[in-house]
């Protein structure tokens, strides 16, 4: 029986292709022909060499010492001539020429294999202790038992490895590392490390692991299969292999899963990160025990790369994908069943209303696989189901004659075009979702369940003979009102020009749409908006609205009016509170930013991994620093990020942005980053390795972002870097420790605005231990802009005429803001025309529109100045430098003169003597007399003629009373002394007036008067 093994290397780089031999051989004889003349070579050795000759230069073979050559030939025989090939990788201090020679054996042997499916796979298990022999059915879950052999179990050495023949000492060796005693393995402190490893793989695949507490100590051999109650399918053992370096462990391929760990290698004595070195070694070797082969390229993103990585823990996406392809997913194993490919075998899922469920590691594993799930639902409840395909894209391929590199990018998102269907208890479809293209999610949103009962969810792929991983999200809502904030947006603004933004101090009308996503009608929906965190920045006008009744599935929108104050760039957190008569109550946050943020820099590091960095970005390093480059191990919104590794030696790595400017009001910088650096466990404020952010203004010196004036809004520095181990950034505040993905937002002050700047992310590591490093993604720099706007004021003319004759007949203007304002404003007026405010009218005193008022009325009242002016016009408009005019651009007010003034302006003119007491034509009659008599005031030949005469005992004077001007009176009066006048005995008649002739001597006069309304 053949032994399949895979030693591991902890750290390292892709190796060079050739290493010239510098020994004393004659170059002309340094050929394979001369090598084949070696009498110590066996016929099997000759066969192996014939296979190797096209691949391995003779000088590389001769560069090995004799023991290494012998081991290489054994290794080649295992690959080329035996039933099961061998996969091998190496420890960090392995000489590069040795590493290269053994990899050439693997590369040459691989050309004789058939192509592998999904992704690099040898063969799945055919027979296990639990399932027995059942064939190698692709995609079928299995159960594997595992045991830990007792110390003293025989472990024969393997010539291809060159390990010892010493028996297993794994238990005692683990005891020296972790403590414990000679008791049962499950009671030892190191046991959870191994058990948790198998539990994790079980939670991500269709493999069930059962610990077998018994192991009979039979020799590690492919002939000693697992047997329930006797030994496990997978047996963990250990003995000295080759000391430090070279082989760390090796493992059988299926159907033999035994593992041998090198107990003489100090590599495992580093227990940092919860023994990540040991755990990843066991997980890698067990991957081979499941049938996984090595995968390329070596970029420390996959566990089954030829060189081990400690950047992560356990199996990664590529391994999980391949194992699900061959062993199914976790939900295919349920109760006593090992598939969920039919309604009869549907996997039951427990769903609780209001508690969303998510299943991350599921898959359609080939062109025939269908996944069924089942769960009970109540009538009128609402089901949401989403199937979301995996979305990783990464370089992947097998080792080949060119070395370990990827042949192409592997796109995990489009291997199947997934569909989702909800079925009733009889298997009849109620809803099917399959409209989205491959790589996109399919979603059934809030489906209202027609009746209580058992339902089925079916996930299917297409005819692709490949696996498609997906995530399943499920949520059930009981029958209820469920009001949600559908959308909101600015529908009106108090300031102009309107720009769809909120400037500090501006009033807005915010249109808020609510949707009833529940299954019941919401009764009497009311909503109110407030700013509990910013009461001094919020002025409400119309902030409570009634939405009425909202039926299930309907949406209604209502406007809310309020003003917001603050500084440009402030983000104000508002709260929308909703209540109904159904006792439904919920609040939603609404964040509104003052001003506008314009993007000045966006970088998500999603370019090809072959590129070092995006254009105009640069990286530099000092000491043992690695610099920054693309990585797919961790990423933010996209498929890759920028990464700098930490090492256990002094160094820095710096990432520098392109130059940019913000604008006069500053801006902000935001980014996502994954921090995994060494920090103190005892003191949460102390870090050993960590990163800082710096800025250079106008090409000047680099300063820490806080020292330069930036302020953290979110995700600030969390530790101070220690100076104890020579960190190049001593005593500086930094990001350090195991933070995972965090968001950081930094406010950049207005002092930055007009200056050019660059940002630098700098990672420093000291001489003590190291962790993974620093990932950076989703960088955005935004500049703040607040437009110069003015209140929009509408001018309307309600009555454009005013009269000097009737002073109660006034003109009226109204001034209206589009929305109520949060502060008093003075309405600035411009006037022109031949009328003058304050002379022809009462003065337009400063017009103040009080805060909150929606209209201001101006009454234009004329002044009766007894001047002959005729009609006058005052044109009123708004000062555009202070407000944004709307409505009437210019309002014309006409001031109508008194009746005499109108007559005099028309008959006499505005320049000649035209007042009432003046005599424009010098005929002895005043202008007023001529106005009353209707004579021509400009002709001395047209004079009033009262024609006094004696008639029938009366003195009679003529006057045309029938043509008396409107709103005027005439009186006839007598006096004996020219001082005291009376109307006694004066009688008006049709032709004028008369007074008795008899009596004392008297004087007679006519008195002309304009009658003004009171």
DSSP string, 777-805: EEEEEEEEE----EEEEEEEEEE-EEESS
> How far is the C-alpha of 981 from the C-alpha of 866, rounded, in Å?
26
Where b means 16+ CB within 10 Å and e means fewer, 691-718 reads: bbbbbbbeeeebebbbebbbeeeebebb
Q: What is the pLDDT of residues 659-695, one digit of tens each?
A: 999 887 888 899 999 999 998 878 889 999 999 999 9
Q: What percent of the chain has pLDDT over 70?
A: 93
> How far is the C-alpha of 224 from the C-alpha of 217, rounded, in Å?
10
pLDDT of residue 89: 56
Phi and psi based region of residue 953 (left: phi greater than 0; alpha: psi -120 to 50; beta: remaining) = left
pLDDT of residue 21: 29
pLDDT at 87 over 70: no
H helices of 539-595, in order, are none
> How far is the C-alpha of 741 from the C-alpha of 715, rounded, in Å?
10
pLDDT-based confidence at residue 93 (cuts at 50, 70, 90): low
User: What average pLDDT does the chain have?
Assistant: 89
Least confident of 85-89, 170-174, 503-507, 783-787: 85-89
pLDDT of residue 118: 41
pLDDT of residue 784: 81
pLDDT of residue 211: 98
For the segment 178-201, the average pLDDT, to the nearest whole number, is 96
Q: How does strand 370-377 pair with strand 382-389?
A: unpaired
Residue located via tokens 């009671």: 187
Start-to-end C-alpha separation, the chain: 128
- Mention every residue, 6+ apart, whose C-beta is less than 8 A from residue 33: none
Least confident of 241-255, 831-845, 911-925: 241-255
- Helix then strand then coil, in percent of the chain rounded to 5, is 15, 35, 50
Torsion angle of alpha carbons 880, 882, 884, 890, nearest 10°?
A: -40
pLDDT at 830 over 70: yes
Phi and psi based region of residue 947 (left: phi greater than 0; alpha: psi -120 to 50; beta: remaining) = left
Q: How does strand 357-364 pair with strand 507-516?
A: unpaired
Q: Which of 836, 815, 834 is nearest to 826 (CA)?
A: 815
pLDDT at 127 over 50: yes
Whether the link from the prior residue into 1008 is cis, omega within 30° of 0, is no
DSSP class of residue 960 equals -
pLDDT of residue 342: 96
Q: Which of 473, 467, 484, 487 is nearest to 441 (CA)?
A: 473
For the segment 109-124, the average pLDDT, to the nearest whole number, is 59
Question: Contact 932/967 with Cβ under 8 angstroms?
Answer: no
pLDDT at 8 over 70: no
For residue 384, give the H/E element and its range: strand 382-389
Give the residue, 219 or 47, on which the prediction is more confident: 219
pLDDT-based confidence at residue 210 (cuts at 50, 70, 90): very high
pLDDT of residue 1013: 87
pLDDT of residue 929: 94
Question: Contact 722/766 with Cβ under 8 angstroms?
Answer: yes
pLDDT of residue 294: 83
pLDDT at 249 over 50: yes
pLDDT-based confidence at residue 132 (cuts at 50, 70, 90): very high
For the segment 701-717, the average pLDDT, to the nearest whole number, is 96
Pull the structure tokens for residue 947. Answer: 């024609």
Question: Contact 16/95 with Cβ under 8 angstroms?
Answer: no
Pull the structure tokens for residue 107. Answer: 């590369």
Most distant pair of Cα atoms in the chain: their distance: 181
**φ and ψ at 186, to 5 degrees?**
-65, -10
Question: Would you call 919 helix, strand, or coil by DSSP?
Answer: coil
pLDDT of residue 1007: 95
Give the residue, 413 or 162, on which the prediction is more confident: 413
Question: Contact 59/20 with Cβ under 8 angstroms?
Answer: yes
What angle do helix axes 191-204 and 317-327 make, rounded to 10 degrees?
60
**Angle 198-201-207 from CA coordinates, rounded to 5°:** 90
Angstrom distances, CA of residue 138 to CA of 253, 256, 324, 459, 743: 16, 18, 10, 19, 42
Most confident of 180-194, 588-602, 608-622: 180-194
Distance of CA 780 to the CA centre of its chain: 11
Question: Would you call 584 helix, strand, or coil by DSSP?
Answer: coil
Question: Would you call 674 helix, strand, or coil by DSSP?
Answer: strand
Give the residue, 101 or 8, on which the prediction is more confident: 101
pLDDT at 113 over 80: no
pLDDT of residue 770: 82
pLDDT of residue 50: 85
Q: Which of 261, 260, 262, 259 is nearest to 242 (CA)?
A: 262
- Mention every residue, 6+ apart, whose C-beta is less than 8 A from residue 748: 662, 666, 667, 668, 669, 709, 710, 781
Question: Contact 629/773 with Cβ under 8 angstroms?
Answer: no
pLDDT of residue 414: 92
pLDDT of residue 76: 86
Count of CB atoms situated within 10 Å of the CB of 474: 19
Q: What is the pLDDT of residues 501-514, one digit of tens each?
A: 999 999 999 999 99
- Mention every residue, 6+ apart, whose C-beta is less than 8 A from residue 179: 189
> How far is the C-alpha of 830 from the C-alpha of 490, rounded, in Å?
32
Count of alpha carbons within 13 angstroms of residue 725, beta-carbon side: 22
Question: Contact 588/487 with Cβ under 8 angstroms?
Answer: no
Count of CB atoms situated within 10 Å of the CB of 660: 15
- Mention every residue, 6+ apart, whose C-beta is less than 8 A from residue 287: 303, 304, 315, 319
Angstrom distances, CA of residue 718 to CA of 14, 643, 670, 738: 36, 20, 17, 11
Residue located via tokens 């290397």: 9
Residues belonging to the chain: 1014
> How far is the C-alpha of 819 from the C-alpha of 800, rounded, in Å?
26
Count of CB atoms situated within 10 Å of the CB of 482: 19
pLDDT of residue 974: 95
Residue located via tokens 């006094």: 948
**φ and ψ at 80, to 5 degrees?**
-90, -30
pLDDT-based confidence at residue 114 (cuts at 50, 70, 90): very low
pLDDT at 23 over 50: no
Angstrom distances, CA of residue 529 to CA of 510, 525, 549, 699, 823: 10, 14, 19, 47, 20
> How far is the C-alpha of 434 from the C-alpha of 442, rounded, in Å?
6
Beta bridge partners, 489, equal 511
pLDDT at 941 over 60: yes
pLDDT at 20 over 80: no
pLDDT of residue 350: 94
Pull the structure tokens for residue 632. Answer: 């797919």
pLDDT of residue 612: 74
Count of CB atoms situated within 10 Å of the CB of 139: 23
Q: What is the pLDDT of residues 438-450, one digit of tens each?
A: 999 999 999 999 9
pLDDT of residue 149: 98
pLDDT of residue 117: 39
> How far is the C-alpha of 465 from the C-alpha of 458, rounded, in Å?
19
């Amino acid at each position: 029986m053949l032994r399949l093994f895979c030693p591991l290397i902890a750290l390292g780089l892709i190796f060079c292709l050739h290493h010239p031999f510098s020994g004393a051989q004659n170059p002309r004889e340094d050929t394979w022909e001369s090598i084949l003349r070696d009498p110590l070579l066996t016929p099997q050795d000759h066969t192996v060499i014939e296979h190797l000759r096209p691949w391995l230069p003779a000088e590389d073979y001769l560069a090995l010492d004799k023991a290494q050559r012998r081991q290489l030939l054994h290794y080649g025989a295992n690959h080329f001539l035996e039933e099961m090939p061998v996969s091998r990788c190496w420890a960090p201090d392995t000489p590069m020429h040795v590493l290269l020679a053994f990899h050439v054996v693997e590369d040459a042997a691989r050309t004789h294999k058939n192509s592998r499916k999904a992704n690099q796979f040898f063969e799945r298990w055919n027979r296990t202790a639990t399932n027995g022999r059942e064939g190698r059915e692709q995609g079928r879950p299995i159960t594997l038992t595992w045991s830990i052999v007792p110390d003293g179990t025989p472990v024969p050495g393997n010539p291809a490895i060159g390990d010892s023949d010493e028996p297993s000492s794994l238990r005692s060796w683990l005891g020296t590392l972790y403590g414990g005693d000679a008791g049962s393995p499950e009671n030892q402190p190191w046991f959870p490390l191994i058990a948790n490893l198998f539990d994790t793989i079980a939670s991500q695949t269709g493999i069930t692991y059962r610990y077998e507490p018994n192991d009979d100590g039979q020799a590690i051999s492919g002939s000693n299969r697992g047997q329930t109650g006797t030994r496990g399918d997978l047996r963990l053992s250990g003995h000295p292999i080759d000391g430090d370096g070279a082989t760390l462990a090796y493992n059988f391929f299926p159907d033999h899963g035994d593992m041998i760990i090198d107990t003489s290698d100090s590599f495992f004595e580093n227990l940092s990160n919860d023994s990540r070195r040991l755990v990843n070694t066991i997980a890698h070797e067990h991957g081979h025990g499941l049938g996984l082969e090595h995968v390329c390229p070596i970029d420390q993103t996959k566990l089954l790369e030829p060189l081990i990585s400690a950047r992560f823990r356990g199996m990664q996406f590529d391994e999980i994908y391949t194992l699900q392809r061959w062993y199914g997913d976790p939900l295919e194993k349920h109760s006593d069943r090992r598939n969920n490919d039919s309604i009869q075998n549907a996997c039951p899922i427990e769903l609780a209303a209001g508690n969303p469920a998510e299943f991350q590691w599921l898959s359609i594993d080939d062109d025939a696989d269908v996944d069924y799930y089942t769960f009970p639902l109540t009538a009128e409840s609402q089901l949401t189901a989403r199937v979301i395909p995996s979305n990783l894209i990464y370089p992947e391929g097998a080792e080949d004659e060119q070395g370990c590199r990827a042949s192409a990018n592997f796109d995990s998102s489009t291997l199947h075009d997934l569909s989702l269907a909800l079925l009733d208890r009889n298997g009849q479809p109620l809803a099917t979702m399959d409209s989205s293209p491959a790589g996109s999610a399919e979603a059934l949103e809030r489906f209202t369940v027609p009746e209580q009962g058992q339902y089925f969810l079916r996930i299917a792929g297409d005819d692709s003979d490949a696996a498609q991983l997906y995530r399943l999200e499920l949520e059930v809502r009981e029958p209820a009102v469920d009001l949600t904030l559908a959308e909101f947006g600015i529908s009106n603004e108090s300031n102009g020009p309107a720009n769809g933004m909120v400037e500090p101090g501006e009033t807005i009308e915010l249109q808020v749409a609510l949707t009833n996503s529940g299954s019941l009608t919401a009764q009497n929906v009311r909503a109110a908006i407030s700013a509990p965190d910013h009461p001094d920045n919020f002025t409400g006008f119309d902030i409570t609205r009634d939405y009425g009744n909202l039926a299930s599935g309907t949406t209604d929108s209502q406007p809310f009016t309020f003003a917001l104050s603050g500084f440009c760039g402030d983000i104000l957190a508002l709260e929308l509170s909703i209540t109904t008569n159904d006792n439904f109550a919920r609040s939603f946050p609404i964040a509104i930013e003052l001003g506008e943020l314009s993007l000045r820099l966006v970088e998500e590091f999603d370019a090809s991994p072959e590129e070092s960095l995006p254009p105009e970005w640069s990286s530099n390093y000092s000491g043992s620093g690695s610099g920054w480059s693309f990585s797919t191990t961790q990423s933010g919104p996209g498929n890759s990020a920028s990464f700098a590794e930490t090492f256990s030696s002094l160094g820095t790595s710096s990432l520098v942005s392109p130059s940019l400017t913000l604008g006069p009001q500053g801006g902000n910088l935001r980014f996502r980053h994954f921090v995994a650096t060494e920090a103190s466990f005892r003191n949460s404020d102390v870090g050993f390795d960590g990163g800082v952010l710096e800025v250079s203004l106008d090409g000047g010196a680099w300063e820490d972002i806080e020292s330069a004036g930036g302020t953290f809004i979110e995700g600030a520095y969390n530790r101070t870097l220690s100076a104890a181990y020579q960190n190049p950034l001593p005593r500086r505040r930094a990001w350090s420790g195991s933070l995972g993905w965090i968001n950081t937002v930094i406010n950049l002050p207005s002092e930055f605005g007009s200056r050019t700047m660059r940002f630098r992310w700098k990672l420093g590591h000291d001489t003590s231990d190291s962790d993974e490093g620093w990932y950076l993604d989703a960088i955005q720099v935004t500049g703040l802009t607040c437009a110069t706007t003015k209140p929009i004021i509408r001018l309307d003319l309600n009555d454009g005429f005013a009269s000097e004759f009737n002073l109660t007949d006034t003109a009226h203007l109204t001034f209206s803001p589009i929305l109520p304002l949060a502060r008093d404003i003075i309405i600035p007026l411009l006037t022109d025309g031949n009328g003058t405010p304050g002379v022809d009218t009462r003065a337009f005193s400063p017009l103040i529109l009080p805060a909150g008022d929606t209209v201001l009325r101006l009454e234009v009242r004329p002044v009766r100045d007894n001047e002959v002016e005729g009609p006058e016009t005052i044109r009123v408009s708004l000062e555009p430098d202070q407000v944004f005019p709307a409505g009437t651009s210019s309002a014309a007010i006409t001031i109508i003169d008194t009746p005499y003034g109108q007559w005099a302006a028309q008959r006499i003119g505005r320049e000649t003597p035209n007042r009432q007491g003046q005599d424009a034509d010098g005929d002895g009659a005043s202008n007023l007399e001529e106005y009353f008599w209707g004579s021509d005031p400009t002709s001395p030949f047209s004079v009033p003629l009262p024609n006094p005469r004696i008639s029938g005992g009366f003195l009679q004077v003529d006057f045309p009373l029938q043509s008396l001007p409107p709103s005027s009176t005439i009186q006839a009066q007598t006096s004996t002394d020219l001082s005291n006048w009376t109307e006694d005995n004066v009688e008006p008649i049709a032709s004028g007036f008369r007074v008795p002739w008899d009596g004392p001597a008297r004087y007679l006069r006519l008195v002309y008067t304009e009658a003004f309304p009171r």
